[in-house]
Amino acid sequence: DTGTLAHDLPGYLREQGREKSDCSLRPFPVSFAQLGWDHWIIAPHRYNPRYCKGACPRLLRYDYHAPNHAVVQSLVHQLVDANVPRPSCVPYRYSPISVLMIERDGGILYKEYENMIAESCTCR
Partner 1 sequence: NQSLPSPGPLPAALPLPLLQALQVRAPGSWGWQARPASGQPLRYMLNLYRRAADSEGRPRRGRSLGTNTVRLVRASSHGGQPWAGRWYVQPLTYHLEGQPEVEHLLRATVVYLPNMPLARGRLLCALELAATGEAPRALLSPATRPHHGWAEADVTPYLVLGNGSVGSLALRHVCVRAGRVGGRDAPVAPSHPFLLLYLNDTQAGLAPPAAEPHRHRR
Residues that bind partner 1 (CB under 8 A): 33-37, 39-40, 42-48, 62, 65, 71, 93, 95-117
Neighbours of 92 (CB within 10 A): 17
Distance, CA of 24 to CA of 31 (rounded, Å)? 23
Residue among 16, 15, 87 at smallest CA distance from 58: 87
User: Between 10 and 36, whose beta carbon lies closer to partner 1?
Assistant: 36
Q: What is the largest CA-CA distance in the chain?
A: 69
Exposed / middle / buried, residue 66 (Cβ in 10 Å: 0-12, 13-18, 19+): buried
Least CB distance from residue 92 to partner 1, whole Å? 10
Least CB distance from residue 55 to partner 1, whole Å? 19
User: Between 68 and 83, whose beta carbon lies closer to partner 1?
Assistant: 68
Least CB distance from residue 15 to partner 1, whole Å? 17
User: Between 20 and 108, whose beta carbon lies closer to partner 1?
Assistant: 108
